[in-house]
Every structure is written in C-alpha cells, then in structure tokens.
C-alpha cells in the first residue's frame, strides 16, 4: 500500500471550495520532478529548485486558484511565509516542503486567509486521492486520478496518480500539475530516468492549445516499502511500463478534458526522415486551428491536414508518396483524394470521440505520435471569459 | 489611368453567383508574382510557373469556389482545357494566360460548365474592380479593393488593388489572392524588388490562423503608360511607399475580415536581440489561441502574453527587463504587473476594434510587428461547417 497521506484544506483562495492539498511523504521517499522551462517561472518553481537541492522532501503542498506567477518579491515573501507556517505546524524544516500553485497569473495570494487556514487545520492526513484531485482543479470539468496495481517478484506494487490540466496544455509541461506515487524503493538516478521516459511518452505528447505555462510540474515519488531489483532489465521494464501506463492514462484524461474538448485525436506520423521531423509534423497538425475546428465539426477534412503538412518547409518527403489515413481509412495518396475520402463509412466514423489520423511520409524510418483535442465554441467561450 | 480591363464570369462553380474574373493586361505590362511554397501546390501554381518562364502574359483568369488543389492529373487536364478554350476565345497563346483558383481543395472543377460559360462570354472587359473583388470571394464577408492616386514628376499615377482572404491567412502567403496594378513602366528586376519589399511589409506580416494554403498568390503588375526614372532613389522611394501603402491596406482588410474576426491586433516586438527572434516572438503571440480568445473577450490578459513569451526557448532576453504595453499602457515590467494592469482606462480600451500590443525585450536593436485577428466563436462556427 502506498503510504502517502493526504490532507485537504480550505485556504480561502476559492470561495467555499477546497483549494489546498498537503501530501505527507513516507520516510525514505525518493522524488523526481520535471518543471516548466518558461522564462517567467512561478514562485513555486523557483523555490522548489532550491529545496530539492538542499533537503530531503517530507511534504508537498499544492494550492489551486492562484498561480503565484509574475508576483515578484511580494509573491516570494508570501510563499516563504506560508511555508514557514506549514513547517511550524508540521514540525519540519521549511526546505523539506515543496510547493505547487495553479490558477490565475499576476495576483498576490490571500496570505492572511492562507496562514489562518493552515493554522486552524488539524492535519490528520485522512483525505482521499479523489478529494485531492478535486481540490487542485481550475477549469477542469472533472477530477483526474488513477490507482493501479501490478505484481512483480511476488510483490504487489501500487501506483497512484493525480493531475489537473485543462488550458495551456503543451509538450514540455503546461498549466498542468501531476503527482504520481509508486510504492517501491528506488534511488535518485533511477527515479529521474523513469520520470523522463514516462513523461516523454505521455505529458510530452499532448497538446490542447500550444501554450506552456509558468507553473507546470510533474512529480514522480517512489515511496519506498517494496524493494525490487531494478538492475534486472526485465524487472525495470515491467516497472517502467506500469508507471508509464498510469502517466498515459492521466495525460489522456487531460486531453479529453481539454478546455471545451468534444474529441480526442491521435496524430501519428510514420516513416519520417528524422525523429525531429516526425515530431514537428505531429505538433504542427495538432496545433492547426483549421484542423481542430474541422474535428469539432466532425468533418474528415483531409485537405486541411495536407495543406498544413505542405506548409512545413523543414519536413522532408516526396508529396506523391504521402499516404493519409483517417480512422484507418485511406483518404489521400499519390497526391489526390481516394474514392473513400468522402465515403459514408468515413463520415460516420467522425462522430466517434476518439479520432485517429495517420500520415505515412514514406521518407525514412522514424515515427512519432501525439494527442490533441478539438477546437470548439466552448473553448472560445471558456478562454474569452476566464482570466488566467 | 490604369489600363487593365476586367470581365466577370459565371462559371457555374458557385450557384447563381459570379465566380470568375478575367483581367486583360495592357501591352508591355510587367508582372511579378509571389506564390505559396506549400509542398502540395495547386494546379494553377504549377501552371503559372511554366507560363511565366515561357511567354509574355496577356491575361489573368481567376476562379473562386474551387481551389483545383490535390486534384492530380485530371485537375491538370481540366486546367489545360479551360486555358485552351480561353486562348481560342481571346485569340492568344495558351501560355500567355495565368490562372488562379481559390476555394475547396480536392474536388474537380465542373469543366463542362466552365467551358460553356467561357464559350458564351462576350469578353467586353467592362466590369468594375469592385465586381471583380466580389467574384473572387470565398468566406470573405466583404469585397476588398483599393484605388489610390499619387503624383510624381508631374505625372498622376494610379494604383489599383484587389484581394481575397479570410481563412488560412499566414505569412509567406495563404489562401489569399491579391492583384495590384500600377500604371508605370518598369522592368522585371524592379517589379520583383518592389513586390518583395511591399509583400514583406504587408501580406507577410498578417496571420489569421497560422495556416499557409496551397493556392496563395500575390501579383504586382506594372501596366506601363507612365515612364518614371526609378534609378533616381527619391523617385523609387515615393513609388515604393505608395504601392506599399496599397499592399498594407489590402492586408489590413484581410485581417479585419479574418474568419469570425471582431478585433485586429498589432503585435510589436521591440529591441530584440536579432530580427529572427523579434519575428518569432511576434508570430508566436499572434498565433496563441489563449491570447486570441482573450482578445475576443476584450480581456487585457497580459499574463497569457507573458506566459507565451516565456515559452519561447530561442528568444533571448532578461525576463526582468521586459516591458509590455497594451494600447499604450504599461501593464507589466520588472517581472510584475504594474498598477495600471487592471485599470479602468486599460479595460475600456479593450473594447476598441484595433488593439495594440507592444513588447520591449530590451536585449538588442531589432524590431518586428505583425497583425492578427482574434479567435471568436464565429471562427469556430465557420470552420467547423465549411469544408475547405
């Protein structure tokens, strides 16, 4: 059983809603974190870097409703203040606490309310992962969490993950926060390696709107208790696959709940000349508004895909060799649409929630894929009304 | 007076609407063309390249409603057929005709109807530039044309321009077609130089949705009649400025009529480290859906601009040196919002049609600017219903 313990708080950032989560990590936990590379990092990103260097981490503290980003010296002072209060209540060193914030940019935290809430909290650590995932939501429509178990070397291992997403979803992290716990005993080197490979196959392969936020972080925590020989390649592979699956499930939930999303589309580029080119083509189509609105309109608009692909000057291929499939149906090849390109079968398949676009460039041996959501009227409505 | 002569046609591509324009160029006209670099160029793009090499151009023939793109060998055969019919009617060599198409991708032209319409047409060349700009519209809401006169060396020079835009607007040309005529006598070298500098300052600085289409072309035609000494630098400058202004007006009309646009925003990056970086930052902000929806919502959302800027790994600057102004009001500097960032004055100014965003990076001496439209519910509605 995972030993991480959860406490929900009402910090007073959101009116009448839970907006704080404190997670107590078991002793000997090992933590890996990937954070946004945005040049205007939020205060928590700056503070965590310092704390991760200095100390063993005992607590993670998350607030929603306020990103504490672009808040300058006062934002830093406020963060230090509530960390100090937390450290007093939890009887630990301030730098053994990591903090995470998500929500509006450029507003100061309601520090007095937060300090008062922390002060009054009993910290019994009896909340559920579901309650925690609810408390970190911003424009998310539903809570996102996964619990999975698997067996290895006769031991039952548990993986628990929670995350929030919605807007500013983008490879290399977004407004997204994700926390994944696995009850095995691993060292820092391995946790970093696992985190990187799992994030590359999940959170770095999704895009809702092509923006990278100031606050994005994903943390993988090994909470000890089970010792598995990970120098054994087979064991490592099993552990990695299982963690990766949880990462993928969480990432898929984020795209499915992309702001205003009514569809999730997997875009695959196959047989590209280089991996970079495969990724660039995926990314570019995933972020084409013309393609994304066609998705919303349930229109198998291969023309917009082809036009977008054609506009990528750095992606090498022979136009007449390109084969485009939508939902498994070949719609374009040899430079022209096929007679399936406007078929009943194809058009009906566009009503599915999951859409599959596969473009074979036939110019090399590299493949890449990415998940994206559609661009709906609701997306516009949400983002023209909500101040980030 | 400009000597170009216009004939409107009903080709039968659109039901009951004009969808064809034939423009007769005066003898000794000199023509420059910039076309899309999309790797799936439409048939007219391929044909025009051949004709421009071979022959003196006497006619330009434009159809709307069908792009003749991704139509393969049959598309090419169809184009050759209607060009042949045109050449017979107009008594000229087939390769003295340039063709332009805009509209749906991947469908064959209704050749029989077209041939019959061309055959029946009297070709009196008495239509107006306004009627021509109306006939080439696709999802455009209004016709786009400009007539300007200026005096130089005691002569009155006229510039006439028409264009169509709406979707797939993007630097390096889009679904856009633009035709500009100036009644001076210049050679090929000069027309190319004028075209490049004017397009760089206009059509290459606008973006509606970040897509480059298969058909985009802009043509500048010097129709002769007035001889101006353009080796004189001052003269050249005056002519260039006047033509450039017409280009800019046309480009501005395209953004203003961007699909679903309710705002036009000028984005300026100043004091960038390099010109490439200035352009990249402009382009990236101009294409941020979060920024574009905030524009639509009349929300002075500096946070989304800062977050987008921060995500650009290749743009060099010191975050605390960045100064962001919206509609002339400084909203962000030294890493934090100013006390003007949520002022009544700022918020009221967001109701204007024209919005101005200026980001000073303070890291060099290079400036760039670009026009973009907002992302509205209407954009989504148009593009989820209209098959390109």
Q: What is the DSSP string of A226-238?
A: E---TTSHHHHHH
Query: In the structure encoding, which two tokens stand for residue B9, read together?
Result: 């046609």
Given a cut of 60, whether residue A371 has pLDDT beyond it is: yes
Residues of A with Cβ-Cβ distance to B297 under 8 angstroms: 383-385
- Give the integer Cα–Cα distance in Å for B164 and B158: 21
Chain A nearest-CA residue for B338: A106
Compute the average pLDDT of residues B87-91: 97
Comparing A33-37, A231-235, A272-276, B46-50, the range with the smallest average pLDDT is A33-37
Comparing A123-132, A134-143, B120-129, B365-374, the range with the smallest average pLDDT is A134-143
The partner residue sitting opposite A39, judged by closest CB among B209, B294, B310, is B310
Residues in chain A: 388
Residues of B with Cβ-Cβ distance to A310 under 8 angstroms: 38-41, 212, 214
Residues of B with Cβ-Cβ distance to A104 under 8 angstroms: 303
Given a cut of 90, whether residue B175 has pLDDT beyond it is: no
Neighbouring C-beta atoms of residue B244, cutoff 10 Å = 17
Q: Are B113 and B63 in contact (CB under 8 A)?
A: no
Asked if the Cβ–Cβ distance from A296 to B379 is below 8 Å, we say no
The partner residue sitting opposite A290, judged by closest CB among B106, B310, B383, is B383
Asked if the Cβ–Cβ distance from B168 to A105 is below 8 Å, we say no
User: Which is it for strands A217-226 and A177-184: parallel, antiparallel or unpaired?
Assistant: parallel
- Give the integer Cα–Cα distance in Å for B360 and B323: 5
Query: In the structure encoding, which two tokens stand for residue A29, read together?
Result: 């936990």
Residues of A with Cβ-Cβ distance to B355 under 8 angstroms: none
Asked if the Cβ–Cβ distance from A70 to B335 is below 8 Å, we say yes
Comparing A64-68, A103-107, B246-250, B261-265, the range with the smallest average pLDDT is A103-107
pLDDT in tens, B322-346: 999 999 999 999 999 999 998 999 9
Neighbouring C-beta atoms of residue A342, cutoff 10 Å = 15
Given a cut of 60, whether residue A170 has pLDDT beyond it is: no
The chain-wide mean pLDDT, for chain B, equals: 90
The chain-wide mean pLDDT, for chain A, equals: 90
Structure confidence at residue A208 (pLDDT): 58
**CATH number, span B5-256:** 3.60.70.12
Domain borders along chain A are 5-256, 264-385
Compute the average pLDDT of residues A133-146: 90
Asked if the Cβ–Cβ distance from B70 to A308 is below 8 Å, we say no
Interface test with B, best of A290, A306, A321, A333 (most B CBs within 10 A): A290
A40 close contact with B: CB closer than 8 A: yes
The partner residue sitting opposite B290, judged by closest CB among A209, A287, A299, is A209
Neighbouring C-beta atoms of residue B237, cutoff 10 Å = 11
- Give the integer Cα–Cα distance in Å for B377 and A378: 8
- ipTM score assigned to the predicted complex: 0.81
B351 close contact with A: CB closer than 8 A: no
CATH number for domain B264-385, candidates 1.20.1420.20, 3.10.20.340, 3.30.360.10, 3.10.450.50: 3.10.20.340
Contacts of A245 (CB under 8 A, 6+ apart): A148
B265 close contact with A: CB closer than 8 A: no
Q: In what order do the strands lie in the sheet with B20-24?
A: B5-9, B20-24, B59-66, B97-104
Percentage above 70 pLDDT, chain A:
94
pLDDT interval class at B3 (50, 70, 90): low
Spot the catalytic one: A175, A223, A270, A372. A175
- Give the integer Cα–Cα distance in Å for A251 and A178: 9
User: Which is it for strands B206-207 and B366-373: parallel, antiparallel or unpaired?
Assistant: parallel
Q: A126: distance to nearest CA of chain B, Å?
A: 36
Structure confidence at residue B174 (pLDDT): 39
Query: In the structure encoding, which two tokens stand for residue B284, read together?
Result: 């990236």
Given a cut of 70, whether residue A386 has pLDDT beyond it is: no
Structure confidence at residue A168 (pLDDT): 47
Q: What is the DSSP string of A271-331?
A: EESSHHHHHHHHHHHHT-HHHHHHHHTT---HHHHHHHHHT-TT----GGG-EEEETTEEE
Q: Which residue has the higher pLDDT, A309 or B172?
A: A309
pLDDT in tens, A33-90: 998 888 889 999 999 999 999 878 999 999 998 999 999 999 999 999 999 999 999 9
- The sign one gets for the Cα dihedral A360, A362, A363, A365 is positive
Structure confidence at residue B225 (pLDDT): 82
Asked if the Cβ–Cβ distance from A388 to B210 is below 8 Å, we say no
Structure confidence at residue B384 (pLDDT): 79
Predicted structure pTM score = 0.84
Chain B nearest-CA residue for A298: B384
Q: Count chain A–chain B contacts defined by CB atoms under 8 A.
A: 199
Residues of B with Cβ-Cβ distance to A106 under 8 angstroms: 302-303, 332, 336-337, 341
Distance of CA B354 to the CA centre of its chain: 19
Structure confidence at residue A132 (pLDDT): 95
Structure confidence at residue B167 (pLDDT): 57
Asked if the Cβ–Cβ distance from B383 to A311 is below 8 Å, we say no
Give the residues across from B270 on adjacent strands: B360
Compute the average pLDDT of residues B80-93: 97
B319 close contact with A: CB closer than 8 A: yes
Structure confidence at residue A388 (pLDDT): 42
Question: Which is nearest to B148 in space by CA: B126, B180, B125?
Answer: B180
Given a cut of 50, whether residue B173 has pLDDT beyond it is: no
Q: What is the DSSP string of A41-70?
A: --HHHHHHHHHHHHS---EEEEEEEE---S
Compute the average pLDDT of residues B152-175: 74
Q: A136: distance to nearest CA of chain B, Å?
A: 20
Contacts of B255 (CB under 8 A, 6+ apart): B165, B169, B206, B207, B208, B261, B264, B371, B372, B373
Compute the average pLDDT of residues A163-169: 69
Structure confidence at residue A116 (pLDDT): 97
Interface test with A, best of B35, B380, B388 (most A CBs within 10 A): B380
pLDDT in tens, B9-28: 999 999 889 999 999 999 88
pLDDT interval class at B265 (50, 70, 90): very high
Compute the average pLDDT of residues B216-236: 91
Distance of CA A297 to the CA centre of its chain: 26
Q: In what order do the strands lie in the sheet with B336-337?
A: B206-207, B366-373, B264-272, B354-360, B323-326, B329-333, B336-337
Touching B: A residues 147-176, CB under 8 Å? 167-168, 170
The SS3 of residue B120 is helix
- Give the integer Cα–Cα distance in Å for A206 and A203: 6
The partner residue sitting opposite B387, judged by closest CB among A75, A104, A299, is A299
Q: Are B209 and B169 in contact (CB under 8 A)?
A: yes
Given a cut of 60, whether residue A211 has pLDDT beyond it is: no
Q: In what order do the strands lie in the sheet with A217-226?
A: A30-35, A217-226, A177-184, A155-164, A144-152
- Give the integer Cα–Cα distance in Å for A57 and A51: 8
Percentage above 70 pLDDT, chain B:
94
In the annotation, is B214 catalytic? no
B323 close contact with A: CB closer than 8 A: no
Spot the catalytic one: B175, B223, B262, B270. B175
Interface test with A, best of B40, B338, B375 (most A CBs within 10 A): B40
Q: What is the DSSP string of B45-109?
A: HHHHHHHHHHS---EEEEEEEE---S-HHHHHHHHHHHHHHHHHHHTS-GGGEEEEEEEESS---
Asked if the Cβ–Cβ distance from A311 to B211 is below 8 Å, we say yes
Structure confidence at residue A33 (pLDDT): 94
- The sign one gets for the Cα dihedral B6, B8, B9, B12 is positive
Residues of A with Cβ-Cβ distance to B308 under 8 angstroms: 211
Question: Which is nearest to A261 in space by CA: A198, A210, A208, A222?
Answer: A208
The SS3 of residue A79 is helix
Asked if the Cβ–Cβ distance from B104 to A303 is below 8 Å, we say yes
The partner residue sitting opposite A39, judged by closest CB among B211, B319, B337, is B319
């Amino acid at each position: 059983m995972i030993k991480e313990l959860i406490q929900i708080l009402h910090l007073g950032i959101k009116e009448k809603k839970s907006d704080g989560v404190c997670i107590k990590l078991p002793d000997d936990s090992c933590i890996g974190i990937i954070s946004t590379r945005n040049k205007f990092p939020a205060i928590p990103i700056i503070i965590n870097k310092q704390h991760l260097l200095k100390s063993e981490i005992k607590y993670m503290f998350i607030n929603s409703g306020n990103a504490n980003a672009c808040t300058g010296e006062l934002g830093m002072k406020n963060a230090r203040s509530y960390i100090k209060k937390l450290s007093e209540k939890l009887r630990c060193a301030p730098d053994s606490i990591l903090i995470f914030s998500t929500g509006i940019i450029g507003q100061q935290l309601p520090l007095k309310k937060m300090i008062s809430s922390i002060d009054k909290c009993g910290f019994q650590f009896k909340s559920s992962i579901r309650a925690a995932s609810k408390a970190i939501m911003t424009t998310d429509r539903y809570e996102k969490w996964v619990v999975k178990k698997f067996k290895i070397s006769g031991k039952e291992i548990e993986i628990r993950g929670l995350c929030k997403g919605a807007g500013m979803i983008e490879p290399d992290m977004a407004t997204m926060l994700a926390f994944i716990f696995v009850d095995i005993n691993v060292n820092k080197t391995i946790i970093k390696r696992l985190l990187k490979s799992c994030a590359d196959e999940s959170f770095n392969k999704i895009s809702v709107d092509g923006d990278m936020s100031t606050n994005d972080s994903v943390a993988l925590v090994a909470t000890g208790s089970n010792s598995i020989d990970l120098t054994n390649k087979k064991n490592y592979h099993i552990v990695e696959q299982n963690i990766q699956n949880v990462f993928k499930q969480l990432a898929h939930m984020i795209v499915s709940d992309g702001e205003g999303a009514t569809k999730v589309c997997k875009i695959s580029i196959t047989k590209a000349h280089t991996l970079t080119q495969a990724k660039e083509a995926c990314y570019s189509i995933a972020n084409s508004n013309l393609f994304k609105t066609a998705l919303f309109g349930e229109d198998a608009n291969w023309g917009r895909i082809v036009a977008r692909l054609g506009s990528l000057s750095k992606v090498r291929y022979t136009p007449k060799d390109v084969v485009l499939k939508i939902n498994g149906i070949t719609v374009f090849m040899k430079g022209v649409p096929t007679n399936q390109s406007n078929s009943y079968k194809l058009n009906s398949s566009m009503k599915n929630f999951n859409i599959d676009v596969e473009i074979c460039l036939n110019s090399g041996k590299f493949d890449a894929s990415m998940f994206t959501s559609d661009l709906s009227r609701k997306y516009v409505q949400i983002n023209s009304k909500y101040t980030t």
